[in-house]
Chain A
Amino acid sequence: MAWTWFHRLASPPHVYALAARLTPWFAWPAALCIAAGLWGGLVLAPPDYQQGDGFRILYVHAPSAWMSLMVYMTMAIAAAIGLIWRMKVAHAVAASCAPIGASFTFAALVTGALWGEPMWGTYWEWDPRLTSELVLLFLYLGYMGLRAGIEDPQRADRASAVLAIVGVVNVPIIHYSVTWWNSLHQAPSVMRLAKPAMPFVMVAPLLLMLLGFTLLFVALLLTRLRSEVLARERSASWIREVVSA
Protein backbone atom coordinates (compact mmCIF):
# COMPACT_ATOMS: atom_id res chain seq x y z
CA MET A 1 0.00 0.00 0.00
CA ALA A 2 2.56 2.50 1.18
CA TRP A 3 4.72 1.60 -1.80
CA THR A 4 2.26 2.52 -4.53
CA TRP A 5 3.94 5.90 -5.00
CA PHE A 6 7.18 4.01 -5.69
CA HIS A 7 5.62 1.55 -8.13
CA ARG A 8 3.95 4.39 -10.00
CA LEU A 9 7.40 5.87 -10.62
CA ALA A 10 7.96 2.99 -13.04
CA SER A 11 5.20 4.27 -15.31
CA PRO A 12 6.43 6.73 -17.97
CA PRO A 13 3.14 8.73 -18.32
CA HIS A 14 2.97 9.21 -14.55
CA VAL A 15 6.60 10.30 -14.35
CA TYR A 16 6.16 12.62 -17.33
CA ALA A 17 3.23 14.40 -15.66
CA LEU A 18 4.93 14.42 -12.25
CA ALA A 19 8.11 15.93 -13.68
CA ALA A 20 6.10 18.64 -15.42
CA ARG A 21 4.27 19.45 -12.18
CA LEU A 22 7.41 19.48 -10.03
CA THR A 23 9.73 21.50 -12.30
CA PRO A 24 8.55 25.01 -11.26
CA TRP A 25 8.80 24.03 -7.59
CA PHE A 26 12.53 23.57 -8.10
CA ALA A 27 13.24 26.10 -10.85
CA TRP A 28 11.90 29.22 -9.03
CA PRO A 29 13.61 28.52 -5.67
CA ALA A 30 16.80 27.78 -7.64
CA ALA A 31 16.56 31.16 -9.40
CA LEU A 32 15.92 32.92 -6.07
CA CYS A 33 18.79 31.18 -4.27
CA ILE A 34 21.25 31.81 -7.09
CA ALA A 35 20.21 35.47 -7.41
CA ALA A 36 20.50 36.00 -3.65
CA GLY A 37 23.78 34.07 -3.52
CA LEU A 38 25.27 36.11 -6.37
CA TRP A 39 24.15 39.37 -4.77
CA GLY A 40 25.66 38.28 -1.47
CA GLY A 41 28.83 36.96 -3.03
CA LEU A 42 29.53 39.66 -5.57
CA VAL A 43 28.26 42.75 -3.70
CA LEU A 44 27.86 42.19 0.04
CA ALA A 45 30.89 40.02 0.78
CA PRO A 46 34.06 42.06 1.38
CA PRO A 47 37.15 41.46 -0.81
CA ASP A 48 39.48 38.78 0.51
CA TYR A 49 42.52 40.22 2.28
CA GLN A 50 44.89 38.14 0.14
CA GLN A 51 43.05 37.49 -3.10
CA GLY A 52 41.10 40.74 -3.40
CA ASP A 53 38.07 40.39 -5.61
CA GLY A 54 39.55 37.36 -7.37
CA PHE A 55 38.17 34.95 -4.78
CA ARG A 56 34.58 35.74 -5.84
CA ILE A 57 34.74 33.13 -8.60
CA LEU A 58 34.55 30.67 -5.71
CA TYR A 59 30.81 31.26 -5.68
CA VAL A 60 30.50 29.55 -9.05
CA HIS A 61 33.50 27.23 -8.89
CA ALA A 62 32.80 25.44 -5.60
CA PRO A 63 29.10 24.71 -6.28
CA SER A 64 29.96 23.44 -9.78
CA ALA A 65 32.63 21.13 -8.41
CA TRP A 66 30.25 19.92 -5.71
CA MET A 67 27.50 19.26 -8.26
CA SER A 68 29.87 17.42 -10.61
CA LEU A 69 30.33 14.71 -7.98
CA MET A 70 26.76 14.72 -6.74
CA VAL A 71 25.35 14.31 -10.25
CA TYR A 72 27.69 11.36 -10.82
CA MET A 73 26.43 9.73 -7.62
CA THR A 74 22.81 10.37 -8.65
CA MET A 75 23.51 8.92 -12.08
CA ALA A 76 25.11 5.79 -10.66
CA ILE A 77 22.31 5.23 -8.14
CA ALA A 78 19.66 5.66 -10.85
CA ALA A 79 21.62 3.32 -13.13
CA ALA A 80 21.88 0.70 -10.37
CA ILE A 81 18.13 0.93 -9.70
CA GLY A 82 17.50 0.50 -13.42
CA LEU A 83 19.86 -2.46 -13.64
CA ILE A 84 18.54 -4.25 -10.54
CA TRP A 85 14.79 -3.67 -10.86
CA ARG A 86 14.78 -3.28 -14.67
CA MET A 87 13.06 0.08 -14.30
CA LYS A 88 13.09 1.93 -17.63
CA VAL A 89 12.44 5.31 -16.04
CA ALA A 90 15.52 4.93 -13.82
CA HIS A 91 17.65 4.45 -16.92
CA ALA A 92 16.06 7.58 -18.39
CA VAL A 93 17.07 9.47 -15.22
CA ALA A 94 20.66 8.22 -15.53
CA ALA A 95 20.77 9.18 -19.20
CA SER A 96 19.48 12.68 -18.38
CA CYS A 97 22.05 13.14 -15.60
CA ALA A 98 25.15 12.61 -17.76
CA PRO A 99 25.12 15.80 -19.90
CA ILE A 100 24.18 17.94 -16.89
CA GLY A 101 26.99 16.45 -14.83
CA ALA A 102 29.48 16.86 -17.65
CA SER A 103 28.47 20.54 -17.97
CA PHE A 104 28.94 21.17 -14.24
CA THR A 105 32.34 19.43 -14.42
CA PHE A 106 33.32 21.54 -17.40
CA ALA A 107 32.18 24.70 -15.58
CA ALA A 108 34.23 23.72 -12.52
CA LEU A 109 37.31 23.19 -14.72
CA VAL A 110 36.92 26.47 -16.59
CA THR A 111 36.28 28.54 -13.46
CA GLY A 112 39.17 26.73 -11.74
CA ALA A 113 41.49 27.63 -14.60
CA LEU A 114 40.29 31.26 -14.67
CA TRP A 115 40.77 31.47 -10.91
CA GLY A 116 44.22 29.94 -11.23
CA GLU A 117 45.49 32.62 -13.59
CA PRO A 118 45.50 35.53 -11.08
CA MET A 119 46.19 33.33 -8.04
CA TRP A 120 48.84 30.90 -9.25
CA GLY A 121 50.04 32.85 -12.28
CA THR A 122 49.02 30.04 -14.65
CA TYR A 123 45.78 28.81 -16.11
CA TRP A 124 46.51 25.20 -15.37
CA GLU A 125 48.17 23.88 -12.27
CA TRP A 126 48.35 20.08 -11.69
CA ASP A 127 46.48 20.55 -8.48
CA PRO A 128 44.97 17.28 -7.18
CA ARG A 129 41.42 18.60 -7.13
CA LEU A 130 41.61 20.03 -10.65
CA THR A 131 43.20 16.81 -11.88
CA SER A 132 40.48 14.65 -10.29
CA GLU A 133 37.90 16.95 -11.84
CA LEU A 134 39.49 16.45 -15.26
CA VAL A 135 39.38 12.66 -14.80
CA LEU A 136 35.73 12.96 -13.80
CA LEU A 137 35.05 14.80 -17.06
CA PHE A 138 36.60 11.87 -18.95
CA LEU A 139 34.42 9.45 -16.98
CA TYR A 140 31.34 11.41 -18.05
CA LEU A 141 32.53 11.52 -21.66
CA GLY A 142 33.17 7.77 -21.61
CA TYR A 143 29.69 7.14 -20.23
CA MET A 144 28.06 9.30 -22.90
CA GLY A 145 30.28 7.79 -25.59
CA LEU A 146 29.29 4.25 -24.63
CA ARG A 147 25.62 5.21 -24.55
CA ALA A 148 25.89 6.80 -27.99
CA GLY A 149 27.92 3.91 -29.37
CA ILE A 150 25.38 1.14 -28.71
CA GLU A 151 22.44 1.30 -31.07
CA ASP A 152 19.93 -0.84 -29.21
CA PRO A 153 18.54 1.50 -26.49
CA GLN A 154 17.95 -1.21 -23.88
CA ARG A 155 21.45 -2.61 -24.29
CA ALA A 156 22.82 0.95 -24.14
CA ASP A 157 20.96 1.50 -20.87
CA ARG A 158 22.24 -1.64 -19.23
CA ALA A 159 25.83 -1.46 -20.48
CA SER A 160 26.20 2.18 -19.47
CA ALA A 161 24.68 1.32 -16.07
CA VAL A 162 27.46 -1.22 -15.49
CA LEU A 163 29.98 1.45 -16.49
CA ALA A 164 28.47 4.01 -14.08
CA ILE A 165 28.69 1.53 -11.20
CA VAL A 166 32.29 0.62 -12.07
CA GLY A 167 33.03 4.36 -12.20
CA VAL A 168 31.54 5.00 -8.78
CA VAL A 169 33.74 2.28 -7.27
CA ASN A 170 36.74 3.89 -8.92
CA VAL A 171 36.09 7.58 -8.21
CA PRO A 172 37.39 7.46 -4.60
CA ILE A 173 40.39 5.31 -5.60
CA ILE A 174 41.27 7.76 -8.37
CA HIS A 175 40.77 10.76 -6.09
CA TYR A 176 43.02 9.43 -3.32
CA SER A 177 45.71 8.18 -5.66
CA VAL A 178 45.79 11.57 -7.42
CA THR A 179 46.02 13.35 -4.04
CA TRP A 180 48.86 11.03 -3.01
CA TRP A 181 50.61 11.55 -6.34
CA ASN A 182 50.38 15.30 -6.00
CA SER A 183 51.66 15.42 -2.42
CA LEU A 184 54.82 13.67 -3.67
CA HIS A 185 55.52 16.04 -6.48
CA GLN A 186 54.94 19.45 -5.02
CA ALA A 187 54.61 21.03 -1.64
CA PRO A 188 51.16 22.54 -1.06
CA SER A 189 52.41 26.02 -1.86
CA VAL A 190 49.08 27.01 -3.36
CA MET A 191 46.99 29.34 -1.27
CA ARG A 192 44.14 27.49 0.34
CA LEU A 193 40.94 29.00 1.58
CA ALA A 194 40.60 27.85 5.15
CA LYS A 195 36.88 27.17 5.20
CA PRO A 196 36.16 27.51 8.95
CA ALA A 197 38.00 30.82 9.10
CA MET A 198 35.74 32.40 6.49
CA PRO A 199 33.44 35.00 7.99
CA PHE A 200 29.70 34.48 7.86
CA VAL A 201 29.18 37.17 5.23
CA MET A 202 31.39 35.15 2.87
CA VAL A 203 30.07 31.69 3.80
CA ALA A 204 26.36 32.46 3.65
CA PRO A 205 26.33 33.28 -0.10
CA LEU A 206 28.35 30.12 -0.75
CA LEU A 207 25.77 27.99 1.05
CA LEU A 208 22.99 29.76 -0.85
CA MET A 209 24.77 29.05 -4.13
CA LEU A 210 25.23 25.39 -3.18
CA LEU A 211 21.53 25.09 -2.43
CA GLY A 212 20.64 27.01 -5.59
CA PHE A 213 22.84 24.81 -7.79
CA THR A 214 21.34 21.65 -6.26
CA LEU A 215 17.83 22.93 -6.97
CA LEU A 216 18.90 23.98 -10.44
CA PHE A 217 20.18 20.46 -11.07
CA VAL A 218 16.85 18.95 -10.03
CA ALA A 219 14.93 21.37 -12.26
CA LEU A 220 17.23 20.65 -15.23
CA LEU A 221 17.03 16.92 -14.55
CA LEU A 222 13.22 16.98 -14.51
CA THR A 223 13.12 18.91 -17.78
CA ARG A 224 15.63 16.62 -19.49
CA LEU A 225 13.81 13.61 -18.07
CA ARG A 226 10.60 14.74 -19.76
CA SER A 227 12.25 15.00 -23.17
CA GLU A 228 14.06 11.71 -22.57
CA VAL A 229 10.74 9.98 -21.74
CA LEU A 230 9.13 11.56 -24.80
CA ALA A 231 11.93 10.32 -27.04
CA ARG A 232 11.86 6.82 -25.59
CA GLU A 233 8.08 6.43 -25.68
CA ARG A 234 7.57 8.14 -29.03
CA SER A 235 5.55 5.22 -30.37
CA ALA A 236 3.33 4.90 -27.28
CA SER A 237 -0.32 5.96 -27.52
CA TRP A 238 -0.30 8.15 -24.40
CA ILE A 239 2.19 10.48 -26.09
CA ARG A 240 -0.40 11.33 -28.77
CA GLU A 241 -2.90 12.28 -26.07
CA VAL A 242 -0.33 14.44 -24.26
CA VAL A 243 0.78 16.19 -27.42
CA SER A 244 -2.72 16.83 -28.77
CA ALA A 245 -4.01 18.04 -25.37
Chain B
Amino acid sequence: MSGLESPAARTLAPVATPLVRGASRARTARSADAIEAARLALLRDLQLAFRKRSQLIQPLAFFAMVTLLFPLAVSPELSRLRELAPGVLWVGALLASLLALEFLFRDDACDGTLEQYALSGQPLTALMFAKTLAHWLLTGLPLALMAPLVALSLGVGPAALPGIVAAIAVGSVTLSLIGSIGASLTLGIKRSGALLSLLTLPLSLPVLIFGARATQLAIHGAPYGAPLELLGALAMLGITLAPLAAAAAVRISLE
Protein backbone atom coordinates (compact mmCIF):
# COMPACT_ATOMS: atom_id res chain seq x y z
CA MET B 1 0.00 0.00 0.00
CA SER B 2 2.67 2.49 1.01
CA GLY B 3 4.48 1.95 -2.25
CA LEU B 4 1.67 3.72 -4.07
CA GLU B 5 2.49 6.96 -2.31
CA SER B 6 6.04 7.11 -3.65
CA PRO B 7 6.84 9.80 -6.30
CA ALA B 8 6.99 7.17 -9.03
CA ALA B 9 3.52 6.03 -8.17
CA ARG B 10 2.23 9.59 -8.20
CA THR B 11 3.34 10.07 -11.80
CA LEU B 12 1.48 6.90 -12.65
CA ALA B 13 -1.61 8.26 -10.93
CA PRO B 14 -4.07 7.69 -13.79
CA VAL B 15 -3.03 4.08 -13.98
CA ALA B 16 -2.82 3.70 -10.21
CA THR B 17 -6.25 5.13 -9.41
CA PRO B 18 -8.28 2.08 -10.41
CA LEU B 19 -5.80 -0.02 -8.47
CA VAL B 20 -6.29 2.11 -5.38
CA ARG B 21 -10.03 1.98 -5.81
CA GLY B 22 -9.85 -1.75 -6.20
CA ALA B 23 -7.72 -1.98 -3.09
CA SER B 24 -10.10 0.10 -1.01
CA ARG B 25 -13.01 -1.98 -2.27
CA ALA B 26 -11.09 -5.09 -1.32
CA ARG B 27 -10.43 -3.58 2.08
CA THR B 28 -14.15 -2.90 2.69
CA ALA B 29 -14.90 -6.42 1.58
CA ARG B 30 -12.25 -7.72 3.98
CA SER B 31 -13.64 -5.81 6.95
CA ALA B 32 -17.15 -6.96 6.04
CA ASP B 33 -15.79 -10.51 5.98
CA ALA B 34 -14.20 -9.97 9.39
CA ILE B 35 -17.46 -8.69 10.87
CA GLU B 36 -19.32 -11.63 9.35
CA ALA B 37 -16.72 -14.05 10.75
CA ALA B 38 -17.00 -12.46 14.19
CA ARG B 39 -20.80 -12.68 14.02
CA LEU B 40 -20.63 -16.36 13.11
CA ALA B 41 -18.12 -17.04 15.91
CA LEU B 42 -20.45 -15.28 18.37
CA LEU B 43 -23.48 -17.28 17.23
CA ARG B 44 -21.49 -20.52 17.35
CA ASP B 45 -20.43 -19.89 20.95
CA LEU B 46 -23.97 -19.01 22.00
CA GLN B 47 -25.37 -22.09 20.30
CA LEU B 48 -22.80 -24.39 21.88
CA ALA B 49 -23.42 -22.86 25.30
CA PHE B 50 -27.16 -23.38 25.09
CA ARG B 51 -26.56 -27.04 24.36
CA LYS B 52 -24.71 -27.36 27.68
CA ARG B 53 -27.10 -25.55 29.97
CA SER B 54 -25.50 -26.81 33.18
CA GLN B 55 -22.39 -24.76 32.40
CA LEU B 56 -24.56 -21.67 32.13
CA ILE B 57 -26.24 -22.25 35.45
CA GLN B 58 -23.13 -23.08 37.49
CA PRO B 59 -21.78 -19.49 37.86
CA LEU B 60 -25.25 -18.26 38.80
CA ALA B 61 -25.64 -20.98 41.41
CA PHE B 62 -22.17 -20.11 42.70
CA PHE B 63 -23.17 -16.43 42.99
CA ALA B 64 -26.27 -17.37 45.03
CA MET B 65 -24.25 -19.77 47.15
CA VAL B 66 -21.60 -17.16 48.03
CA THR B 67 -24.36 -14.77 49.05
CA LEU B 68 -25.84 -17.39 51.32
CA LEU B 69 -22.53 -17.65 53.19
CA PHE B 70 -22.65 -14.08 54.47
CA PRO B 71 -25.86 -14.16 56.53
CA LEU B 72 -24.65 -17.45 58.02
CA ALA B 73 -21.13 -16.22 58.74
CA VAL B 74 -21.78 -12.61 59.75
CA SER B 75 -25.28 -12.00 60.97
CA PRO B 76 -28.86 -12.46 59.72
CA GLU B 77 -29.77 -8.85 60.63
CA LEU B 78 -30.87 -7.11 57.45
CA SER B 79 -29.53 -3.73 58.60
CA ARG B 80 -25.99 -5.13 58.85
CA LEU B 81 -26.32 -7.13 55.66
CA ARG B 82 -27.43 -3.99 53.81
CA GLU B 83 -24.15 -2.34 54.79
CA LEU B 84 -22.23 -5.35 53.45
CA ALA B 85 -24.36 -5.73 50.31
CA PRO B 86 -22.06 -3.85 47.83
CA GLY B 87 -19.09 -5.94 48.89
CA VAL B 88 -21.01 -9.21 48.86
CA LEU B 89 -22.53 -8.49 45.45
CA TRP B 90 -19.23 -7.53 43.85
CA VAL B 91 -17.03 -10.17 45.39
CA GLY B 92 -19.66 -12.75 44.46
CA ALA B 93 -19.94 -11.49 40.89
CA LEU B 94 -16.14 -11.25 40.53
CA LEU B 95 -15.58 -14.81 41.75
CA ALA B 96 -18.47 -16.18 39.69
CA SER B 97 -17.13 -14.60 36.50
CA LEU B 98 -13.65 -15.90 37.37
CA LEU B 99 -15.10 -19.39 37.75
CA ALA B 100 -16.74 -19.15 34.34
CA LEU B 101 -13.49 -18.15 32.63
CA GLU B 102 -12.43 -21.76 32.39
CA PHE B 103 -15.13 -22.37 29.78
CA LEU B 104 -14.00 -19.43 27.64
CA PHE B 105 -11.23 -21.10 25.65
CA ARG B 106 -10.64 -24.55 27.09
CA ASP B 107 -12.88 -26.62 24.81
CA ASP B 108 -11.88 -24.61 21.72
CA ALA B 109 -8.22 -25.08 22.52
CA CYS B 110 -8.70 -28.83 23.02
CA ASP B 111 -10.58 -29.53 19.79
CA GLY B 112 -8.43 -27.25 17.60
CA THR B 113 -11.05 -24.56 16.94
CA LEU B 114 -8.70 -21.83 18.14
CA GLU B 115 -6.04 -23.08 15.74
CA GLN B 116 -8.54 -22.91 12.88
CA TYR B 117 -9.48 -19.38 13.92
CA ALA B 118 -5.82 -18.35 13.87
CA LEU B 119 -5.33 -19.92 10.42
CA SER B 120 -8.62 -18.68 8.97
CA GLY B 121 -7.13 -15.46 7.58
CA GLN B 122 -9.72 -13.43 9.47
CA PRO B 123 -8.35 -11.01 12.09
CA LEU B 124 -7.95 -13.01 15.27
CA THR B 125 -8.61 -9.83 17.29
CA ALA B 126 -12.17 -9.65 15.93
CA LEU B 127 -12.76 -13.33 16.65
CA MET B 128 -11.42 -12.97 20.18
CA PHE B 129 -13.70 -10.01 20.72
CA ALA B 130 -16.65 -12.08 19.50
CA LYS B 131 -15.76 -14.92 21.88
CA THR B 132 -15.42 -12.48 24.79
CA LEU B 133 -18.74 -10.88 23.91
CA ALA B 134 -20.37 -14.31 23.88
CA HIS B 135 -18.81 -15.01 27.29
CA TRP B 136 -20.21 -11.76 28.66
CA LEU B 137 -23.67 -12.51 27.25
CA LEU B 138 -23.54 -15.94 28.87
CA THR B 139 -22.12 -15.00 32.29
CA GLY B 140 -21.87 -11.24 32.91
CA LEU B 141 -25.35 -10.36 31.76
CA PRO B 142 -27.09 -13.25 33.60
CA LEU B 143 -25.15 -12.31 36.75
CA ALA B 144 -26.33 -8.72 36.42
CA LEU B 145 -29.91 -9.89 35.90
CA MET B 146 -29.67 -12.14 38.94
CA ALA B 147 -28.18 -9.40 41.13
CA PRO B 148 -31.60 -7.91 42.11
CA LEU B 149 -32.58 -11.23 43.65
CA VAL B 150 -29.36 -11.36 45.65
CA ALA B 151 -29.65 -7.68 46.60
CA LEU B 152 -33.25 -8.09 47.84
CA SER B 153 -32.19 -11.03 49.99
CA LEU B 154 -29.61 -8.76 51.61
CA GLY B 155 -32.24 -6.19 52.58
CA VAL B 156 -31.63 -3.70 49.78
CA GLY B 157 -34.69 -1.64 48.81
CA PRO B 158 -36.19 -2.02 45.31
CA ALA B 159 -35.30 1.58 44.39
CA ALA B 160 -31.61 0.67 44.27
CA LEU B 161 -32.03 -2.27 41.89
CA PRO B 162 -31.69 -0.49 38.50
CA GLY B 163 -28.39 1.03 39.60
CA ILE B 164 -27.06 -2.32 40.80
CA VAL B 165 -28.03 -4.07 37.55
CA ALA B 166 -26.41 -1.31 35.48
CA ALA B 167 -23.19 -1.36 37.52
CA ILE B 168 -22.77 -5.14 37.33
CA ALA B 169 -23.75 -5.26 33.65
CA VAL B 170 -21.17 -2.59 32.68
CA GLY B 171 -18.49 -3.77 35.11
CA SER B 172 -18.70 -7.39 34.00
CA VAL B 173 -17.83 -6.35 30.42
CA THR B 174 -14.39 -5.34 31.69
CA LEU B 175 -14.18 -8.46 33.86
CA SER B 176 -14.83 -10.67 30.80
CA LEU B 177 -12.21 -8.75 28.78
CA ILE B 178 -9.54 -8.99 31.50
CA GLY B 179 -10.49 -12.62 31.90
CA SER B 180 -9.99 -13.25 28.19
CA ILE B 181 -6.38 -12.06 28.53
CA GLY B 182 -5.78 -14.27 31.56
CA ALA B 183 -7.48 -17.30 30.03
CA SER B 184 -5.57 -16.99 26.75
CA LEU B 185 -2.23 -16.59 28.58
CA THR B 186 -2.83 -19.73 30.63
CA LEU B 187 -3.90 -21.87 27.66
CA GLY B 188 -2.03 -25.13 27.71
CA ILE B 189 -1.17 -24.96 31.42
CA LYS B 190 -2.64 -27.86 33.32
CA ARG B 191 -4.60 -27.00 36.47
CA SER B 192 -4.30 -23.30 35.81
CA GLY B 193 -7.17 -22.23 38.07
CA ALA B 194 -5.11 -20.68 40.88
CA LEU B 195 -2.71 -19.04 38.44
CA LEU B 196 -5.61 -17.64 36.43
CA SER B 197 -7.04 -15.96 39.52
CA LEU B 198 -3.60 -14.61 40.48
CA LEU B 199 -3.30 -13.08 37.00
CA THR B 200 -6.78 -11.59 36.65
CA LEU B 201 -7.79 -10.48 40.15
CA PRO B 202 -5.16 -7.71 40.57
CA LEU B 203 -6.16 -6.31 37.18
CA SER B 204 -9.84 -6.41 38.17
CA LEU B 205 -9.43 -4.19 41.26
CA PRO B 206 -10.44 -0.91 39.56
CA VAL B 207 -13.69 -2.53 38.40
CA LEU B 208 -14.33 -3.78 41.92
CA ILE B 209 -13.66 -0.33 43.43
CA PHE B 210 -15.87 1.65 41.06
CA GLY B 211 -18.55 -1.04 40.88
CA ALA B 212 -18.86 -1.38 44.65
CA ARG B 213 -18.95 2.42 44.95
CA ALA B 214 -21.76 2.72 42.38
CA THR B 215 -23.69 -0.02 44.18
CA GLN B 216 -23.18 1.63 47.55
CA LEU B 217 -24.40 4.98 46.27
CA ALA B 218 -27.43 3.33 44.64
CA ILE B 219 -28.31 1.59 47.92
CA HIS B 220 -28.11 4.90 49.79
CA GLY B 221 -30.29 6.55 47.18
CA ALA B 222 -27.54 8.91 46.05
CA PRO B 223 -26.70 9.66 42.39
CA TYR B 224 -24.36 6.93 41.16
CA GLY B 225 -23.62 8.35 37.68
CA ALA B 226 -19.94 9.17 38.25
CA PRO B 227 -18.63 5.69 39.21
CA LEU B 228 -20.91 4.15 36.57
CA GLU B 229 -19.33 6.37 33.92
CA LEU B 230 -15.87 5.39 35.14
CA LEU B 231 -16.93 1.74 34.80
CA GLY B 232 -18.01 2.57 31.24
CA ALA B 233 -14.65 4.19 30.56
CA LEU B 234 -12.84 1.09 31.81
CA ALA B 235 -15.05 -1.07 29.58
CA MET B 236 -14.23 1.12 26.55
CA LEU B 237 -10.50 0.90 27.29
CA GLY B 238 -10.84 -2.86 27.67
CA ILE B 239 -12.78 -3.24 24.41
CA THR B 240 -10.05 -1.40 22.49
CA LEU B 241 -7.01 -3.11 24.03
CA ALA B 242 -7.93 -6.47 25.56
CA PRO B 243 -8.81 -8.35 22.31
CA LEU B 244 -5.39 -7.36 20.90
CA ALA B 245 -3.60 -8.81 23.94
CA ALA B 246 -5.80 -11.92 23.95
CA ALA B 247 -5.16 -12.53 20.23
CA ALA B 248 -1.40 -12.13 20.76
CA ALA B 249 -1.54 -14.56 23.69
CA VAL B 250 -3.52 -17.13 21.70
CA ARG B 251 -1.01 -16.95 18.85
CA ILE B 252 1.84 -17.47 21.34
CA SER B 253 0.10 -20.48 22.84
CA LEU B 254 -0.30 -22.04 19.38
CA GLU B 255 3.37 -21.62 18.40
Q: What residues of chain A have their CB less than 8 Å away from a CB belonging to chain B?
A: 135, 138-139, 141-142, 145-146, 149-150, 154-155, 158-159, 162-163, 165-167, 169-170, 173-174, 177-178, 180-181, 184
In whole angstroms, what is the CA distance A158 to B234 when docked? 26
- Contact, CB under 8 Å: A181 / B209: yes
- Contact, CB under 8 Å: B213 / A146: no
- Contact, CB under 8 Å: A145 / B198: yes
- Contact, CB under 8 Å: B202 / A177: no
Q: Is B166 interfacial (CB 8 A cutoff)?
A: no
Q: Is B189 interfacial (CB 8 A cutoff)?
A: yes
Interfacial chain A residues near B209, Cβ < 8 Å:
177-178, 180-181
Query: Can you show 14 pairs from A to B with CB atoms below 8 A apart?
Result: A135-B202, A135-B205, A142-B199, A145-B195, A155-B188, A155-B252, A159-B253, A162-B248, A163-B181, A166-B203, A167-B203, A173-B234, A177-B209, A178-B205
In whole angstroms, what is the CA distance A189 to B19 when docked? 69
Nearest chain-B residue to A132 (Cβ)?
A: B205
The distance from the CB of A82 to the nearest CB of chain B, in whole angstroms, is 12
The distance from the CB of A13 to the nearest CB of chain B, in whole angstroms, is 26
Q: Is B185 interfacial (CB 8 A cutoff)?
A: yes
Given known A-B contacts A181-B209, A184-B213, A146 and B202 have beta carbons under 8 A apart: no
Interfacial chain B residues near A135, Cβ < 8 Å:
202, 205
- Contact, CB under 8 Å: A150 / B188: yes
Q: What residues of chain B have their CB less than 8 Å away from a CB belonging to chain A?
A: 181, 185-186, 188-189, 192, 195, 198-199, 201-203, 205-206, 209-210, 213, 234, 237, 241, 245, 248-249, 252-253, 255
User: Which 7 residue pairs across A and B have the least CB separation, nearest first?
Assistant: A177-B206, A158-B252, A138-B202, A149-B189, A181-B209, A142-B199, A142-B198
Q: Name the contact of A170 in the complex, choosing from B195, B203, B253 (C-beta under 8 A).
A: B203
The distance from the CB of B114 to the nearest CB of chain A, in whole angstroms, is 15
In whole angstroms, what is the CA distance A150 to B248 when docked? 16
Given known A-B contacts A155-B253, A178-B209, A169 and B241 have beta carbons under 8 A apart: yes
Q: Name the contact of B245 in the complex, choosing from A139, A150, A162 (C-beta under 8 A).
A: A162
Q: Name the contact of B185 in the complex, choosing from A141, A163, A181 (C-beta under 8 A).
A: A163
The distance from the CB of A206 to the nearest CB of chain B, in whole angstroms, is 29
Identify 6 new A-B residue pairs, CB closer than 8 A, beyond the known A135-B205, A174-B202, A177-B205: A145-B199, A150-B188, A155-B253, A159-B185, A162-B181, A162-B185
Interfacial chain B residues near A163, Cβ < 8 Å:
181, 185, 199
Interfacial chain B residues near A154, Cβ < 8 Å:
255
In whole angstroms, what is the CA distance A181 to B195 when docked? 26
In whole angstroms, what is the CA distance A141 to B195 when docked? 9
In whole angstroms, what is the CA distance A163 to B185 when docked? 8
| Of B188, B205, B245, most A-chain CB atoms within 10 Å | B205
- Contact, CB under 8 Å: B245 / A181: no
In whole angstroms, what is the CA distance A145 to B201 when docked? 14
The distance from the CB of B108 to the nearest CB of chain A, in whole angstroms, is 18
Interfacial chain A residues near B202, Cβ < 8 Å:
135, 138-139, 142, 170, 174
The distance from the CB of A180 to the nearest CB of chain B, in whole angstroms, is 7
Nearest chain-A residue to B248 (Cβ)?
A: A162
Interfacial chain A residues near B252, Cβ < 8 Å:
155, 158-159, 162
In whole angstroms, what is the CA distance A162 to B205 when docked? 19
- Contact, CB under 8 Å: A149 / B192: yes
Q: Name the contact of B201 in the complex, choosing from A138, A177, A178, A180 (C-beta under 8 A).
A: A138
In whole angstroms, what is the CA distance A166 to B249 when docked? 11
Nearest chain-B residue to A154 (Cβ)?
A: B255
In whole angstroms, what is the CA distance A13 to B186 when docked? 32
In whole angstroms, what is the CA distance A107 to B19 when docked? 62
In whole angstroms, what is the CA distance A167 to B181 when docked? 11
In whole angstroms, what is the CA distance A146 to B195 when docked? 7
